[in-house]
Amino acid sequence: MEGRVEGQLRLPLCGLASAALWDAVVSSRLALVEEELEEERARVCGPRDAHQPERRALRGGHVEGSLVLGGRRVKVQRPRARSIGGQELSLPSWQGWSARVPLDERALDQNS
């Protein structure tokens, strides 16, 4: 084989580079989702550790959730918010992110 040194294996660099790029894009997208969720919770609950007598919602920690990103289901620590009365409050952006299944959307587009 031309370009091959005897005894050396050829690595599939194109495949490795593609996988690394895919992982980087998915990781970046996941970081964006987590940042958006925290910003939304701050709008609902107010700044973290700030005394607010008129506060209407409290931070409720995180709960494990999952989203489809890059065609793969990934785990996400979803931030929680609760009303002063103890009711779970949904974050609209979580509803949007968790409802998206890009592969289903792509399949529908291809069938049209």
At 43-66, the pLDDT tens digits run: 999 888 888 888 889 999 999 998
- pLDDT for 25 equals 81
Coil/strand/helix, residue 54: coil
Averaged pLDDT, 19-41: 87
Report the predicted TM-score, pTM, of the whole model to 2 decimal places.
Answer: 0.68
- Asked whether residue 96 is assigned to any structural domain, the reply reads yes
39 is in which domain, residue-wise?
A: 14-48+56-111
- Asked whether residue 8 is assigned to any structural domain, the reply reads no
- Asked whether residue 74 is assigned to any structural domain, the reply reads yes
- pLDDT for 4 equals 57
> How far apart are alpha carbons 100 and 112 in whole angstroms?
19
- pLDDT for 59 equals 92
Q: What is the number of structural domains in the chain?
A: 1
- Asked whether residue 105 is assigned to any structural domain, the reply reads yes
Residue 76 bridge partners (DSSP): 65
